[in-house]
């Protein structure tokens, strides 16, 4: 079942795919990762993680239309699957449960649930 678990980088990229929607292609995901996290990443690590998430069944992809800014090349657009959505929900629920149990966290009295 560890295949259904998400690492931090995987979870972040999966969330970014959902945020970016029709703009969820590797280069744009890498750019947005750097904006959101203020951390650098390589396009190679983004590609390999997107491939791994696809193999786990958390993402699908299809080729977009050619664009002039890319010299007529097409972009591979990623989309979250229902299984990917479930993995994100499980990850969120686990973290919220842990935060709610953490006695040193001042916000735990608010029951951080969605």
Whole-prediction pTM: 0.83
Tokens of 77: 């657009």
What pLDDT digit, counting tens, does each position of 1-30 carry?
446 789 999 999 999 999 999 999 999 999
Give the closest residue to 37 by CA, choosing from 11, 2, 71: 11
Q: What domains does the chain contain, in order, with CATH numbers?
A: 2-104 (1.10.10.10)
Distance CA 100, CA 114 (A): 13
Percentage above 70 pLDDT, the chain: 88
Name the maximum alpha-carbon separation found in the chain.
Answer: 55
């Amino acid at each position: 079942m560890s295949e259904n678990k998400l690492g931090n980088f995987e979870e972040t990229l999966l969330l970014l795919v959902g945020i970016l929607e029709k703009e969820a292609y590797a280069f744009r995901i890498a750019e947005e990762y750097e904006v959101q996290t203020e951390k650098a990443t390589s396009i190679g690590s983004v590609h390999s993680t997107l491939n791994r998430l696809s193999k786990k069944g958390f993402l699908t992809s299809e080729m977009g239309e050619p664009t002039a800014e890319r010299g007529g090349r097409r972009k591979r657009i990623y989309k979250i699957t229902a299984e990917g959505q479930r993995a994100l929900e499980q990850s969120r629920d686990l973290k919220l449960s842990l935060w709610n149990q953490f006695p040193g966290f001042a916000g735990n009295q608010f029951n951080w649930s969605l």
